[in-house]
Structure 1
Amino acid sequence: MGLTENQNEILFIIYASISALSLAGSIFICIVYLSFKDLQIFQFKLVTYLALVDAGTSLSFFLPSYLDDIICQAQAFLISFFTLSGVLWTSAIAHALYKSAIREYKDISIYHKPYILYACGLALLASIAPFITESYGNADSWCWVRTDKDRAQETILRLLIYYIPLWLVIPFNLIVYLKVIVKINREISNINEEEFTRRQLIRKLLLYPLILIICQTPVTINRIHDYFDDDPEFALVLISGVGICINGLLNAIIYGCTESVKLAVASWWRGNGKTRSTRVSFLSDESNKMDELNTF
């Protein structure tokens, strides 16, 4: 027994409302990137790419997929592509930070095209695969890879095109940010006047991988439940969808609202049109380590 029509309508309204907030956050990041030249650096370009795919995820939840099979197929493809691409972009950002902060590469923009091929190319291939196996359909309150045709095959497909990449990216991101935190503590813990800023930065670095864990754990649990029980739990489906829909808003807040962005917007608000310049290198100079790391 699936969800009732009334439950689907309620979930659609909730998901669309939260997605609207995420879409607004993603649009804000894109506007900021386009409006301030000092922020048009490679690091923030990666954050803007993440905002764009988050916007795509948000838009896909505006589709009332429970009304029509064509809309359902469209939503399934869009969710499959944009959610996986978003996950992969977070790992690209983590990799860029690793190369800059740990390996101290001077120019990480050499990874621009590889990042796009990785985050968008793999997501595109993954989102096409269910069309080949005719596996897209209703998956609780939104459309994705269904499991009512061939449970074993379609469960494997779900794992391959989303959950295995997701739970490989999460520990990778966590390890990278922990390495950066260790380096921050080792290299700049002796700067007393920067202690408060250092602690703020460390807390923020810990939030990056936590976003995925917080937003994606409920839907992972829900899919495990789906495997063992055909009858969806309304509360679990609700929390799962909310986690996916709010992911874009949290990414915009944590990844996008850096000190550089705040200063740029504040400068624009005051009307002087000046923004602080931000450099690409990380941890290269004792006097500006905090400013450079705050680019992310």
Structure 2
Amino acid sequence: MAPAMAAAASQALSDHQILDAVGTGAAALSLVGSSFIVLCYLLFRELRKFSFKLVFYLAVSDMFCSLFTILGGPSNAFYCFAHDYSAHFFCVASFLWTTSIAFTLHRTVVKHKTDVEEFGPIFHLYVWGTSLSTTVLRSIGSDNGRPGSWCWIQQGSMAKMAAGISERSNQSDIRSGRKAFNRWGYYPLILIGSWAFATINRLYDFTSPGHKIFWLSFLDVGFAGLMGLFNSIAYGLNSSVRQAISERIDTFLPERIKRSLPTLSRLRSQQENELTSLIVEGN
């Protein structure tokens, strides 16, 4: 009996270490991606339009969500409490900023409205207010122990449910508008891909408490941790960002090198109908 229990404890410790490593690695990639978007927004003044501001706030939320994930779960009860709810706040905010971007896309591309900038204060109230409210509600009756790999992975805690937001236009509108909508309409699937395994894992924990499936926890931790990276690639690396970067590179490169890099001229002249083109100039 004793050898069997020792073997089980050793296996549980090994699984715990693997999940820690996977979660930290995925979060580190997301931290790099989201930090890159934040840096681009701060460095390139031409990117500071309303549409990219939404991407900036999404990246900030992803950045802090990833940072608290990398920090792990401290053993001290107070720091565990602070870590738990800080991570929860910013991860919820990341999800809500994605829904705000989806709303902006629907209103501009499908309904052809040009008043989206007026929703800026409402978005902030919606995102930060809801994140704070859910964090406070989550603290009621919670036990901030360490039953999982991190402080915030606990039995009975609120499941992080992601809902895909997909709208389809039945009208035959302008080709460029349809192209933008079709392209960006896929990005809410990032939420589904990132949180599908987490949702399944939470539901399984609820129905079978105390019986963990390692591969499901592995996929849960890995895909959830990569959401910031997925968001930074999907929302941040658009033609406007690439053009801003290429222009800065173009400024410092000698002329003979620029002639040998046709990619720079292609990026400079490239006009894709992406999120940053949704804002009507002059509003």
Q: What TM bracket, shorter-length normalisation?
A: 0.7 to 0.9
Change (3 A) 1:292 1:214: closer
Query: How far off is 1:68 after superposition?
Result: 4.1
Change (3 A) 1:293 1:80: closer
What is the letter of the counterpart of residue 241 of structure 2?
V
Change (3 A) 1:31 1:227: same
C-alpha distance in 2 between matches for 1:241 and 1:292: 31
After superposition, the C-alpha distances for 1:247-288 in whole angstroms (9 at most, x for unaligned) are: 000000001111111111111111179xxxxxxxxxxxxxxx
- Residue 222 of structure 1 corresponds to which residue in structure 2? 201
Greater shift in the superposed pair: 221-230 or 130-139: 130-139
- Residue 291 of structure 1 corresponds to which residue in structure 2? 273
Q: What's the Cα RMSD here?
A: 2.8
- Residue 52 of structure 1 corresponds to which residue in structure 2? 60
C-alpha distance in 1 between matches for 2:34 and 2:274: 23
What is the letter of the counterpart of residue 222 of structure 1?
N
* 1:257 matches 2:237: yes
1:1-296 matched pairs, under 5 angstroms: 4-65=12-73, 67-138=75-146, 140-144=148-152, 146-147=154-155, 154=156, 158-159=158-159, 162-163=160-161, 166-167=162-163, 170=164, 173-175=165-167, 178-179=168-169, 186-189=172-175, 201=180, 204-229=183-208, 230-271=210-251, 290-291=272-273, 293=275, 295=277
C-alpha distance in 2 between matches for 1:139 and 1:244: 19
Q: Unaligned regions of 5+ residues in structure 2, if any?
A: 1-7, 254-270, 279-283
Q: What is the TM-score with the length of structure 1 in the denominator?
A: 0.76
Q: What is the TM-score with the length of structure 2 in the denominator?
A: 0.79
Query: How far off is 1:293 after superposition?
Result: 4.7
- Percent of pairs identical after alignment? 29
After superposition, the C-alpha distances for 1:136-189 in whole angstroms (9 at most, x for unaligned) are: 444532222633xxxxxx46xx15xx43xx33xx2xx212xx33xx56xx2344
After superposition, the C-alpha distances for 1:39-62 in whole angstroms (9 at most, x for unaligned) are: 100000000000000011101111
Query: How far off is 1:67 after superposition?
Result: 3.9
What is the letter of the counterpart of residue 63 of structure 1?
L
Checking the alignment, whether the CA contact within 8 Å between 2:146 and 2:154 is kept in structure 1 is yes
Query: Whose radius of gyration is greater, 1 or 2?
Result: 2
For residue 183 of structure 2, give the secondary structure of its aligned residue in structure 1: helix
Query: How far off is 1:209 after superposition?
Result: 1.4
C-alpha distance in 2 between matches for 1:58 and 1:220: 19
Q: Unaligned regions of 5+ residues in structure 1, if any?
A: 148-153, 274-288
What is the letter of the counterpart of residue 144 of structure 1?
W
Checking the alignment, whether the CA contact within 8 Å between 1:211 and 1:250 is kept in structure 2 is yes
C-alpha distance in 1 between matches for 2:106 and 2:205: 37
Checking the alignment, whether the CA contact within 8 Å between 1:53 and 1:85 is kept in structure 2 is yes
Checking the alignment, whether the CA contact within 8 Å between 2:109 and 2:181 is kept in structure 1 is no
What is the letter of the counterpart of residue 191 of structure 2?
L
Checking the alignment, whether the CA contact within 8 Å between 2:89 and 2:132 is kept in structure 1 is yes
